[in-house]
Amino acid sequence: MRVGRWGFLFAVAVSIAACKGGGGAADAGTPSTGGKTLKIGAALSLTGAAAVYGNTQKNGIQAATDAVNSSNTMGGVRIDVVVDDDASSKEQGINVFQKFINQDKVSVIIGPTLSTTATAADPLAQQAKVPVLAISNTAPTGITDIGDYIFRDSLTEAQVIPGAVKKAHQKLGFKTAAVLYGNDDVFTKAGYDVMKKALDSEGVQIVETQTFAKPDRDFNAQLTAIKGKNPGILVVSALADNAAAIVVQARQLGYTGPILGGNGFNSPAFIKNAGPAAEGVLVGTSWNSASNDQANAAFKEAMQKRGATADQFSAQAYSGVLILAEAVRKAGSKTGRDDVKAALAQVKDLDTPLGKFSFSDKRDAQHEPSVQQVKDGKFQILQ
Amino acid sequence: MLDWFLTYQSLFAFIGINGLLALSVYCTLSCGQLSLANAGFMAIGAYAAALLTLRAHAAFPLALLVATVVPAIVAVPLGLPVLRLRGVFLAIATIGFGEVVRLAFVNWDYTNGALGLVAIPQKTSLWMVWIALALALYVLGRLRGSRIGYALEAIRQDEPASRAIGIASTHYKVAMFAFGAALAGLAGALEAHFTFMVAPSGYGFGRVVDMLVYAVVGGDAIFYGPVLGAAFLTALPEALRGAGQAVGLAPGPLRLFVNGAILLAVILFLPNGLVSLPEAIRRWRMRRMPRAPLG
Amino acid sequence: MGQQAINGIFLGSIYALFAVGYTLVFGVLDILNLAHQAVFMLCAFTALAFVSGLRLHIALALPLAAIVGGLLGILLERLAFRPLRGRADSNISGLISSLAAATIFESFALQMWGPDVSRFPFGTFPDKPIHLGAATVSALQLTIVAIAIALMALLTGLLSVTPLGRQIRAVAESPRAARILGVDVDRVIAWSFFISSALGGAAGVLFGLAFNSVSPDIGRSIELKGLAVIILGGMGSVAGAVVAGFVLGIIEVFTVAQIGSSYRDAVSFGVLFLILLVRPRGLLGHSATREA
């Protein structure tokens, strides 16, 4: 069959048309050198493995934006948020960042949801000199290390887990532990490294270590091996979906000991999917849900009004917007990229749902973490 | 205009890289072999180049060269036994190879296992990708009408018959297998130095399926078909982003549905791919024209 | 040790049930139906919808979902395979066509149920643990193994004893000869797809129950394992798929227990590779070529 030169020309024409089609929706966007709007690009995982976190983050961001815009404390500056889905993938994350930086011309980017995506996409922002505020990247290294335009308000696993392990050890006095972690995700693997160190420094002997991958659904083999060693506690570093299945299967296999989870457990989706098996599970958290601070109360109320869940992820997202608003205030109502970047570093003891918030000199988050336990189908702060 | 280009810079780069990947699958398709090993070769090339630039601070051209050559070298001893298998067995064996490569990287601590390598210097520029693509197109285009090209076509049509007339089909098949591996490795290295990181999750079964789809949708009967398919399918999610939001459909499912629907439509109605669209339209038009009366 | 063996049999029964449908279609049409895993996944969701939405008992939802699966199989055959039947490269184009169908099915699942993991409501199946010595097995696990074995036995019986079964075997041997002998090949193919997809769908429901996870991506992971099983068992051999399914399940579980979970999949694919190089027709398969 003959394709000939018409086929070839057609080929070229279609490729150009396909490319241009994507560009058609572009508009100039607000320039990044100031003006009366703070344009924020929110790169969130609305689909994919991290969708449970991304969607609640979106709610937190929108709630905070409404609160700040109606509070009239911004010297006339309005916050405008553009939300885009990074599909929990690093390629999409890069595309979204590119769009935010060059097309929407945002002053600052919030996100992305997963640490894995951040390691690929944040360097772009650093190169383009656009500040990024991470609200859920908790891998201890590889995030703010990327450069001086990368900030985060999420405590790393290294800041939360040791406290949780210590408290659990105090209360339960276990001598041995088994660890189960996901070896195909930056966050869960980093969580494991921290857990191991924390257990070692508490003098607890790790009798069994097992791994799994995100797509896995059957954990019986690993859990059987773990149960066989009779550990005093099972420590798990997993994302929410795996976490629920692991806990359910562990109980089904007859493991009755305590379970301690990393940050991935911090989602009501975990409790929902694990059902009765979630009772008693301990989780370190960045968000003290029981706190009666004014900022926290306002946050919980705003979320309730929207019919959305108040959880750690939405709390960190909400706080993220508050932090950015404070940065604009400190910059004298200037909204340019470098203004925001310089002012972020000056945010100190800001009242947020997470407590009093400051950045460390490495641009990491600094505030008190807590430990919680699932009781009666809800997260309760462990005093 | 320039802003638009900057925003879509990465899109153009991905189009070029995916074009190379589509061509790598085309290499084996052109002699009738359905090989799905190229995600594995891509991983080998990407990791080799990344390790060289990260750990040994090698020059980028050297890393690219290694990324092109090493997969080809691996392909030869792999191809000799595996290309003996027919049709679907070859496909499955090559899928298995790809998975084994991916799992090897997941379990290799030197490369950080499943987390992969990060902070790879961004050495790839747009023109590099497109020059590589142009070169690949040139080489494959020259095969057309040459002795090698005719031999490949003969093998594709009927391998036993081609051997009967004296074509050393095994040599040609292995050669194309290795050349495809080289292209995939090169594409992998270019991509790694564009996206700052490599991780095993990027080189799984889904990846090689994408490559196959680019080649098939574009048209696997002619050397530039796969590139057209790659361009079209890479640009499509961007083009659809606005449309989906307008209709209220989530972007993820919409993208998948459109990919699947296009693939199905092509395989059912346009088996020679998008490149054959003008021809197909012409034929469809002619069929509808009234026939001239006889005599 | 005993517990791990139980885990292996449990996992293996689901692998086997999934693979049996896969290999049946290959035997009959010489085509790898890559949409089998999508039917597996959709039926899991269908059963979930029956149980949580329509409040049906799982004993009713399972067969209903399997029937839905069978119907999906017939649809699949009509839309994606039949139009390609005359073509020379029908294996490759069939593979690609089934891939397209799988993608479309997955997009439906994503749009209707989202990417999150759903689960059957608590209490769908009584969760009583049963102790066999040092090992624990739940009533659910026992039931799943029993159902899987029963279905596979039914299939084997159908193929060996019933007229339809004989016709299926005839078409698998040689469609042309079967047609000459008066077999309605189109009808037989449609039935094969119905049975294959119904079994695959049942496997999906059992999977969802077994691991309390139903999500649009459960098909992806099992599709590759399914390939390993049918190659190990022998393409086209139902008995082979059954044996290989259990063997692979046990191998995987013991790999995790003794070597490490990171190597589990590598071992499965290593086995696949070895078989293809050394004995392509698998444990119980016939020789690789097939009559027109």
Compute the nearest-CA separation of A317 from chain B (Å).
Answer: 22
Least confident range from A176-180, C179-183, C284-288: namely C284-288
Residue B153: strand, helix, or coil: helix
How far apart, in whole angstroms, are the C-alpha atoms of residue C178 and residue A135? 65
Residues contacting C251, CB < 8 A, separation 6+: C8, C267, C268, C271
pLDDT at A210 over 80: yes
- Determine which helix (DSSP H) or strand (DSSP E) holds A372, and give its type and residue range: strand A370-375
Which of C211, C265, C267 to probe the A interface (max A CBs under 10 A)? C211
Judged by CB atoms within 8 Å, which residues 213-252 of B form the interface with A? 218-219, 221-222, 224-225, 227-228, 231-232, 235-236, 238-239, 241-242, 250-252
Beta bridge mates, C130: C137
SS3 (DSSP) at A380: strand
Six-digit token pair at C187?
């009808």
Q: Which residue of C has its CA nearest to B98?
A: C269
> Where residue B280 sits, what CATH number does that domain have?
1.10.3470
CA distance C97 to chain B (A): 6
What are the chain C neighbours of A192 within 8 Å (beta carbons)? none
Examine residue B19 and state whether it is found in any structural domain, yes or no.
yes
Residue-number span of the structural domain to which B264 is assigned: 10-288
Say which residue, C127 or B26, is predicted with more confidence: B26
Quote the minimal CA–CA distance from B247 to chain C in Å.
13
The C-alpha angle with vertex A39 and arms to A34 and A44, in degrees rounded to 5, equals: 150
A217: chain C residues, CB-CB within 8 Å: 207, 211, 213, 218, 221
Mean pLDDT along residues C194-221: 91
Whether B118 is covered by a domain: the verdict is yes
Please tell me the distance in Å from B206's CA to the nearest CA on chain C.
9
CB A379 within 8 A of CB A271: yes
C87: which chain B residues are within 8 Å (Cβ-Cβ)?
A: 271
Q: Among residues 18-37 of chain C, which lie with CB inside 8 Å of chain A?
A: none
Closest residue of chain C to B262, computed from CA coordinates: C100
* Distance of alpha carbon A334 from alpha carbon A77, whole angstroms: 8
pLDDT of residue C182 exceeding 80, the answer is yes
pLDDT digits (tens, 9 = 90+) for A5-57: 544 554 454 444 444 433 333 333 444 444 588 999 999 998 777 888 999 99
Q: Which two tokens stand for residue C143?
A: 């039931």
Helix (H/G/I), strand (E/B), else coil: A365: strand
d(CA C178, CA A52): 53
* Rg of chain A, C-alpha, whole Å: 22
Residue type, A255: Y
Residue with tokens 């409501």: C121
Cα dihedral value C232, C236, C242, C243, nearest 10: -40
Predicted pLDDT of residue A368? 80
One-letter amino acid for residue B246 of the chain: A
Cis bond upstream, residue A112 (ω within 30): yes
Q: What is the pTM assigned to this prediction?
A: 0.83
What is the rounded distance in angstroms from the CA atom of residue C159 to the CA atom of residue A210?
43
**What is the CA angle C208-C209-C212, rounded to 5?**
70
Given a cut of 80, whether residue C73 has pLDDT beyond it is yes
Cβ of C3 within 8 Å of Cβ of A52? The answer is: no
What is the average pLDDT score of chain A?
A: 86
CA R_g for chain B: 20
What is the rounded average pLDDT of the residues A94-103? Answer: 89
- Contacts B260 to C, Cβ<8 Å: 100-104, 106-107
Considering only alpha carbons, which residue of chain B is nearest residue A20?
B239
E strands, chain C, in order:
129-132, 135-138
Neighbours of B1 (CB within 10 A): 6
- Compute the nearest-CA separation of A55 from chain C (Å): 11
Look at residue C267 in the predicted model and tell me its pLDDT. Answer: 86
Least confident of A84-93, A127-136, A324-333, C71-80: A84-93
Q: Are the beta carbons of A239 and A181 closer than 8 angstroms? A: no
**CA pair distance A43, A51, nearest whole angstrom:** 12
Is any Cβ of chain C less than 8 angstroms from the Cβ of B92?
A: yes
Measuring CA to CA, how many Å separate A334 from each of A32, A39, A78, A314, B16?
10, 12, 11, 26, 40
**Identity of the amino acid at B163:** R
What is the count of structural domains for chain B? 1
Q: Which residue, B259, B280, B16, is CA-closest to B126?
A: B16
CA-to-CA distance for A62 and A223, rounded, in angstroms?
40
Alpha carbon distance, N-terminus to C-terminus of chain C: 48
Edge-to-edge strand order for the sheet containing A365-366?
A: A350-352, A355-359, A365-366
Mean pLDDT of C32-40: 94
| Rounded Cα gap, residues A243 and A266, in angstroms | 10
Burial of C128-148, coded b for 16+ CB within 10 Å and e otherwise, reads eeeeeeebbbbebbebbbebb
**Of B91, B99, B255, which is closest to C95 when you measure between CB atoms?**
B91
Q: How high is the pLDDT of residue A31?
A: 42
In this structure, of A2-6, B31-35, C228-232, the range with the lowest mean pLDDT score is A2-6
Question: Do C95 and B34 lie within an 8 Å CB cutoff?
Answer: yes
* Per-residue pLDDT at A269 exceeds 50: yes
Per residue of chain B (295 residues), give pLDDT as tens. 566 666 677 788 999 999 999 999 999 999 888 999 999 999 999 999 999 999 899 899 999 999 999 999 999 999 999 998 888 889 999 998 998 999 899 888 888 887 788 778 888 888 999 999 999 999 999 988 888 998 998 888 888 888 898 888 899 999 999 999 999 999 999 999 988 888 888 898 889 988 999 999 999 888 999 999 999 998 887 777 666 666 666 666 787 888 889 999 999 988 888 998 888 888 888 888 776 666 5
Residue pointed to by tokens 């390598």: B117
What is the largest distance, in Å, between two alpha-carbon atoms of chain A?
Answer: 78
In degrees, to the nearest 5, what angle opens at C-alpha A113 toward C-alphas A110 and A119? 90
Tens of pLDDT, residue by residue over A215-267, are 888 999 999 999 999 999 999 999 888 999 999 999 988 899 999 999 889 88
What CA–CA distance (Å, rounded) separates C170 from A10? Answer: 47
Domains of chain A: 37-155+291-367 (3.40.50.2300), 158-285 (3.40.50.2300)
What was the pLDDT predicted at B179? 96
Which residue do the tokens 């007339």 mark? B165
Per residue in C81-117, is it b (16+ CB within 10 Å) or e — as a string? beebeeeeebbbbbbbbbbbbbbbbbbbbbbebbbbb
Q: What angle do CA C260, C261, C267 make, to 5 degrees?
A: 85
Q: What's chain C's average pLDDT?
A: 88
Which stretch of A65-74, B259-268, C107-116 has the lowest confidence by average pLDDT?
A: C107-116
Q: Contact, C255 vs C267, CB < 8 A?
A: yes
Q: Which amino acid is at B284?
A: W
| C108 pLDDT higher than 80 | yes
ipTM above 0.95, yes or no: no
Q: Per-residue confidence at A1, pLDDT binned at 50, 70, 90?
A: very low
Nearest to A275 among C122, C252, C256 (CB): C122
Q: Residue A42: how many CB atoms within 10 A of its CB?
A: 31
Give the span between the Cα atoms of B3 and A149, in whole angstroms.
22
Distance from C-alpha of A218 to C-alpha of C8, rounded to nearest angstrom:
11
CATH number given to C2-278: 1.10.3470
